[in-house]
Amino acid sequence: MKRLFPCLLLGMGLAAGTGGCMPSRTDQGQSPPPPGSFSGRDQAFRQKREQLQARNPIQDAKTAIAAGKRYLLCTAGRSRTVPGLSVDEYQAASGNCPTECLDGVTDALFGPEHAAYLQTALDYSAQWNRTMLPVCR
């Protein structure tokens, strides 16, 4: 009987739904963050988005060209893409202008503010690239 007692306890635990030694799938005692709250990383992307929205990509590209800085803006990820340009346009321009990526532009998402920043960055990059294209051909 003494040898069967641990097995009986384990069996009762399984029957009671405690799952023995298996951890629970729910995060007890933790609730999701309240709506409108942001992690530090998400907050940083909100600030980056606001800063980028305050800039003019066409004027910024013209200023860069005047200063002799000629490059295309890209998105980083499994492969680099160049917003605003077709594959043929990019191939024609890439030999004359390198590509640089804006900080935080990637195919991974870190939160809702990062997603909003990515959209702003893609729009900015597309306008920059269309402005830069004639001097990169």
- Average confidence score pLDDT of the chain: 80
pLDDT band for 38, please (50, 70, 90 cuts): low
Distances (CA, A) of 20 to 3, 11, 17, 118: 18, 8, 8, 45
Answer yes or no: pTM beyond 0.85: no
What average pLDDT does the segment 45-65 reach?
97
> 3-state class of 54 per DSSP?
coil
What confidence tens digit (pLDDT) does each residue in 72-85 have? 999 887 878 899 99
- pLDDT at residue 60 tops 90: yes
